Structure 1
């Protein structure tokens, strides 16, 4: 008698959107290449738009080399207020990110059997369906119900099985879920 056994990794069972750990709050983190508008209330001559340099710093009209990369817009605004306090009494600064380029941790990446695998900047309230529209859907060879979402949550990598075929072919909207910065979607090829 011949007994055959197979070793393999059993993927996590498919999950619905409410079963995946949602990130509680998302604050955009400024990165190199981002275009930011600095608005100084009551001092329009100091209002400017600048790009974050590759070294992560910006230069404003009064202060050179302020580190912007790795900060939220609010944190950067407070730093600029502090730097301007030497020149402007009670400066009130707002920072608005106008052009998002940023760092990979702020992007969503799709690899494998997407019609157009790519990376795109994260935008708040982005869903899996939005991402599938952006990449043009799946190839004819994709196994969408074996697709994997890789997400880093509280410093740990977690992976979830997605149900892309159910969502795209059958209209099962329960397979749609919110995406978060740094998410990676891997779409495997069908075995047959």
Structure 2
């Protein structure tokens, strides 16, 4: 990992990440996708014996009463409800299903990852309108040895990975809110250590 961070050490040629109006459309239309580790609360109207709370397995499937191994990963809760209605329709007349999510994890494509010199590097579930400051609060900020102004945000755009320079020291240590930028599902923030 140190090799990866050292290779990313030169950020002078990277563009600065900004709050972009062009991202507003994709952020405004964001829909949560179910992923492994999510807890689904499934309610089948007038059928409490079919209702319950179900954990999405690592393979992206759940099993419920009358429904074995239905794929839910990568779908919205509404899509899962419609799929459940189709399957349950074989056993009961005109099922009405509602699905809600608790214990959000989401699929990997919906997570934002922080690696390197963060206090608690981890993958974080994306939330609508999430910013870099929200993300850094979630991971506990920077370590004492972080070189926050050399950090990078890596984003996949049209199948290509693009790296942007982010100024974490300015944002976190100096309180410069102008250094706060939007993050999107799938973003990766790489924080190198300072060279002493």
TM class by smaller structure: 0.7 to 0.9
2:3 alignment partner in structure 1: none
Give the secondary structure class of the aligned counterpart of 1:137: coil
1:16 alignment partner in structure 2: 18
Q: 1:182 aligns with which of 182, 186, 194?
A: 186
**Distance in 1 separating the partners of 2:195 and 2:57:** 46
- TM-align CA RMSD: 2.2
Query: Number of paired residues?
Result: 185
TM-score of the pair, normalised by structure 2: 0.82
Gaps of 5+ in 1: 1-7
Give the secondary structure class of the aligned counterpart of 1:180: coil
1:5 alignment partner in structure 2: none
Q: CA deviation at 1:155?
A: 2.6
Alignment of 1:17-166 (within 5 A): 17-18=19-20, 21=23, 23-24=26-27, 25-166=29-170
More deviation, 134-143/81-90: 134-143
Contact 2:20–2:182, Cα closer than 8 Å, also in 1: no
Give the secondary structure class of the aligned counterpart of 1:166: helix
Gaps of 5+ in 2: 1-9
Q: CA deviation at 1:19?
A: 6.3
